Amino acid sequence: MKNFSTVGTRLFVAAFFSAGAALPAQAMNCQFRPDAPDQHLVVKGDTLWDISGRFLEKPWCWPQVWDLNKEQIHNPHWIYPGQIIWFDRAAGRLRLGNKIEAGDGSAAGTLRLSPQVRTEGLGKDAVPSIPSGVIEPFLTQPLIIENDELNNAPRIIATQEGHVFLGKDDKAYVRGDLKDGTSFQAFRPGNALKDPVTHAVIGYEAFYLGTLKLRTPAKAGSDVHTFTVATAKEEMGVGDQLMQAPPTPMRNYVPHPPEQRVEARVAAIYGGVTHAGQNQVVSINRGKLDGLDIGSVLQLYHTGRTVSDPGASKGWHGMSDPQVKLPDEEVGSLFIFRVFKHISYGLIMQVTAPVEVGDVAQSPE
């Protein structure tokens, strides 16, 4: 182990907000990599997944080896480029610090532990959990519409006179219960999403068309509202439906196992393809009502095939069942970044074989 005082860097270590004493990573089945560095300087372009992967065999183990309480673990807006993550090997913990220069601008050479909390510019330029560019379109657009939302969604019943399709600043006449909303997204239902196990329809992929703002609510005795098109990504018109625009999602969640056991299946691969690889998006048949939240990590498995045992019929070694299911094979990790009631979107982070519809996604072992 290196002596930290010889690294040539002086640190102010962040305050330790633990709710209680934490167990070393090894006690929680979280193993540090044998080649884990003593420290890592956070730079622009890092992600929390990449950083944790430098230290841990399984990046989702980050919260188990971090000296912060649950709320701060899930919302790590205090990790910025220029800070240092260092590995306390004796305690089996990771710490967060800031590099401090001496008064003459040179790097000081001693290690000093002292609490510090960064408050200025909170959230600005913070290190994201996963590559934000890949998931950006999925964070604010509907994309998945569940059955109850589809049945009760307001709909466009007429357009501005003379307009077959609506464009920016055009008027749209909408009928339905707005539930006090004023900002909406227009969508058109697409392919049905079926549960790979029950084969029941659990939702629909939606074509995102644009956004509308309420201009004049329906007057007494009427249920027709007047809207103005704020943005138009695709052509929209009569029959298209509306849903309230979601709040701006939090993007910085550290990978963590679900709080309760989750057993899910891959319901669809975004884009209609049959196989998915690294950094591709899939939907699964479990959501917030099943215990998932943003940042949850699941392990992906190919379901073991059922094969015939030719020796079973002969009573070989006492075996009598000719049909045997092979073990499920782990193929990768899935980071959940958007959660609906019964469906979630996940980004494939690591994969050793292509992911297919029907593959298992479950809580890490």
Q: Tell me: the pLDDT tens digits for 301-353?
A: 998 878 887 766 655 555 566 788 888 899 999 999 999 999 999 999 888 99
Task: Please tell me whether residues 126 and 149 are part of one structural domain.
Answer: no
Residue 138 lies in a domain: no
Residues 183 and 245 sit within 8 Å (Cβ to Cβ)? yes
Domain end: 75, 107, 132, which one?
Answer: 132
Share of the chain above pLDDT 90, in %: 38
Task: Please tell me whether residues 148 and 72 are part of one structural domain.
Answer: no
Residues 17 and 68 sit within 8 Å (Cβ to Cβ)? yes
Query: What residues are paired with 214 via a beta bridge?
Result: 227
Task: Please tell me whether residues 127 and 35 are part of one structural domain.
Answer: yes
Closest CA to 342 of 262, 273, 269: 262
- What is the pLDDT at residue 38? 92
Cα gap 118→126, rounded to integer Å: 11
Mean local confidence (pLDDT), 145-168: 87
Copy the structure tokens of residue 143. Answer: 């994309």
For 337, phi and psi rounded to 5 degrees? -120, -10
Residues counted in the chain: 365
Specify the pTM: 0.72
In the chain, the number of structural domains is 3
Asked whether the CA dihedral 176, 180, 183, 185 is positive or negative, the reply is: negative
Task: Please tell me whether residues 148 and 118 are part of one structural domain.
Answer: no
Domain end: 194, 212, 244, which one?
Answer: 244
Residues 10 and 102 sit within 8 Å (Cβ to Cβ)? yes
Mean local confidence (pLDDT), 258-265: 93
CATH number of 323's domain:
2.40.10.410
Domain end: 244, 279, 305, which one?
Answer: 244
Task: Please tell me whether residues 196 and 270 are part of one structural domain.
Answer: no
Task: Please tell me whether residues 62 and 166 are part of one structural domain.
Answer: no
Residue 254 lies in a domain: no
User: Domain range spanning residue 174?
Assistant: 143-244
E-assigned strands of 101-238?
A: 144-145, 155-159, 171-175, 183-194, 201-216, 224-232
Task: Please tell me whether residues 116 and 193 are part of one structural domain.
Answer: no
Render pLDDT for 118-134 as a digit per residue (tens, 0 to 9). Answer: 434 445 677 878 877 77
Q: How many CB atoms lie within 10 A of CB 117?
A: 8
Q: How many CB atoms lie within 10 A of CB 189?
A: 15
